[in-house]
Each structure stands twice: as C-alpha cells, then as structure tokens.
Structure 1
Amino acid sequence: MRNIVLQRSPAKALGLLFLILALLFLVKLPFLVVADRDSYPVLFFALTGKKEFSLYYTHSVQKTPVQENFFVDQEDRLLLTSTEYESLGVGTPFLPDEGKLVNQQGKYFLSGLSRHFEEVDLGASPIAGHALIIKNKKYIVNDYFAPNELVRIRVIRCSTAFILWQKIVHRRETVD
C-alpha cells in the first residue's frame, strides 16, 4: 500500500505543476498598457476590481487642471465617462448634448459621457504635466517617457507568464 501512495505522489505533483504552468501561459488577463509610439510597453497596470483610471493634465489654452475619467468596458475599450476642469473656453466641452455640466464652487463636472476609444494617444509634454491616476496613485508620464514623445494608452490581454517576462527580462513596471 505504501508503494502505491509513493508512486502516485510524483504523478500528482507533476499534474499540479502542469496545471499551474498552463494557467500561467494560457489564461489572459486585461492590463492597461502605457506604451511608446512603436507600441513598446513601458507600464502595465493590472485591471482587477474597478477598471477605472483618470488622465490628468494642464489645459494648453486655459492653463488650468483637467481630469478625464475613463472606465474599461467588457470589450476592453476605453470609455470616457466624465471630465473635471476649472474654466470654460476653447477645447473644453460645454454644450448640452455633450453630457450633464455642473458647476460646484468654480469647478466644472461634465458627466454622462459615453465616448469609446480603442486607444488614447498623447504627447508626453512636461508643460501639460500628463499623469495617469490609477487606484489613487499618480504616475507622471514624463517620469517614464522623454519630453514630447508619443505615448499610447490601451488595454491588452496577456498571460501572467508574459507579464513576468516583461518585468524580469525587460524591467518593465507592473502595478497591481
């Protein structure tokens, strides 16, 4: 009886190892990726729980802060849901058909937006001070990209093995 138990244990261990490796390589999870113009990923953000993030910057004309709030939908598209800004003017939405605009103590909140994007491109401008806000943490774009470099934000699905490879071999920053 003891021989049978010893013979089955290595088989079970091997089966468990195979299952774990299969999960690492086959199961693909959504990640928000911030990449350069060649789609070379620099930052990975795991999209677990609330799939929300914000893009913060200083408006080029008004010179006031803007925060665009996004949600990642079931099709892994970026959905612009609302915008917050401090002044009306060129380049800031304000028409009634663009959503519900509310002014609270000098700050404008435009909600009810439903604009889908496959990706969002921006120039990493130190003047605009672009930043991503994810899970209440701010990531300054110019800490990771050269001034005026094209930056592409999108969602990709990738395996845990791929993320580990990016983190270990290419020293990419991954954020849970």
Structure 2
Amino acid sequence: MRKYTSLGAILLILCIGFILLIPLQTFLVIEPRSTTGDSVLFSLPDNHSFSVRYTHSIHLSEVEEFYESTLSNQIHQTKLLYEDTAIGMPANAEGNEIFEVTKDGKYLISNMEKVFPYIDIRIGQVVANHRLVLEGKEYPLADYFVKGSVVRVQLKKQSLYDQWKGVTVVGKR
C-alpha cells in the first residue's frame, strides 16, 4: 500500500510540474530590448488579431498597422491604415495588395502578406504615442516601458510559471 501511495505522490508532482512548466497558452509578449525591465504579456483575443497605432512623427497623422498571429506564432501584417502619403508612407500597394481610399479619406492597404518573427518598436518620446490595440482597447506602450526605448513584440507560448514570475499580464481570461 505504501508503494502505491509513493507512486501516486510522484505522479501528482509530475502532473503539477507539467501543468506549471509546459507552455500552453500563446501571448503577445512585449519585452524591453534597450533597457532593463520585465516583459508584458497580453492575452490575444479569440480572432488572434491586434494592431499598433501611433502618430507619424513627420506629418503628425495617425497610422495603424493590423496584424494576426499565424499557426507557427509568427506575426502576419494584414492591413495598413494611414492619413497621408508623404515621407515614410507608401503611395501605392505592392504585389497582390489592395490600395484604396476609405469613406473618411484615409488610405488603406489590405491583403498584405508580410510575415515577421517579431517586430521591434522604438517607443516615441514626444509625438508617436505608440499604442497596442486589442479588441478596441488601447494600451499605451509608454505605460509599461521607458519612452525612447526599443521593445520587441512577438508571439510566444507561456507556461503558468512564466505568467507568475513577475511579468505584467494584461487582459488575462
């Protein structure tokens, strides 16, 4: 009987270790690259989409880049919405992309097929006000990281242990 109790305890410990240490849930992870600090984890919505919104530093108009996660946890850019075709913004679409002017006069490039393992962003110090947008809610990156610093946005599977070890988890379901 004692043998079965020990075996049961070992199995229980292994199961708990499995649950705590095996990465199961995919998060949008933003981590500092040029400064020290903790990563911030954002729960992805059911449609696995998000966007990054910012003010262009030259023509001071809003730009929004739309993304989705791929099955291999890559970042797929699907659309780009902006207000001005001046310096630093595309004047037309490429390849199979679709360029159009929206009803409110903004420029939209859709059907984009750009895929990235990660995106590095330098958080604006004065004008840019970079914001992550999830399900319509904005999260200013300067609320989590130092203005002017570089952060890396990527998709990663995280274990429960990863979620508990001192990082900020936003939008936990």
Question: Does the TM-score normalized on the shorter chain lie above 0.5?
Answer: yes
- Identical aligned pairs, as a percentage? 24
Give the aligned residue type for 2:99: L
Question: Per-residue CA shift, 1:106-159, capped at 9, x if unaligned?
Answer: 111110101011111111114111110012211101111112111111112221
* TM-score for the superposition, normalised by structure 2: 0.82
Q: Is residue 20 of structure 2 the alignment partner of residue 24 of structure 1?
A: yes
Give the aligned residue type for 1:149: S
User: Counterpart of 1:109?
Assistant: 108
CA distance in 2, matches of 1:40, 1:144: 9
Q: Cα offset for 1:174?
A: 3.4
* Structure 2: segments with no counterpart, 5+ residues: none
User: Counterpart of 1:84?
Assistant: 81
CA distance in 1, matches of 2:69, 2:37: 21
CA distance in 1, matches of 2:77, 2:133: 14
* TM-score for the superposition, normalised by structure 1: 0.81
Give the aligned residue type for 2:122: G
User: Counterpart of 1:49?
Assistant: 46
CA distance in 2, matches of 1:21, 1:135: 33
The within-5 A match list for 1:1-176 is 19-37=15-33, 41-47=38-44, 49-97=46-94, 99-104=97-102, 105-125=104-124, 126-167=126-167, 172-176=168-172
CA distance in 2, matches of 1:149, 1:115: 25
CA distance in 2, matches of 1:122, 1:95: 24
1:67·1:83 contact (CA, 8 Å) conserved in 2? yes
* Structure 1: segments with no counterpart, 5+ residues: 1-7
CA distance in 1, matches of 2:74, 2:23: 19
User: What is the SS of the residue equivalent to 1:97?
Assistant: coil
Where in structure 1 do 4 or more consecutive aligned residues deviate above 3 Å? 11-21, 38-41
CA distance in 1, matches of 2:10, 2:45: 30
CA distance in 2, matches of 1:79, 1:28: 21
Question: Per-residue CA shift, 1:58-112, capped at 9, x if unaligned?
Answer: 1122210000000010111111100111111222123242521111221111101
Q: Cα offset for 1:15?
A: 5.6
Q: Which has the higher contact order (CA 8 A, sep 6+)?
A: 2
Tell me the number of residue pairs that the alignment of Structure 1 and Structure 2 aligns.
Answer: 166
Greater fraction helix: 1
In terms of Rg, which structure is larger?
A: 1
Q: Cα offset for 1:37?
A: 0.7
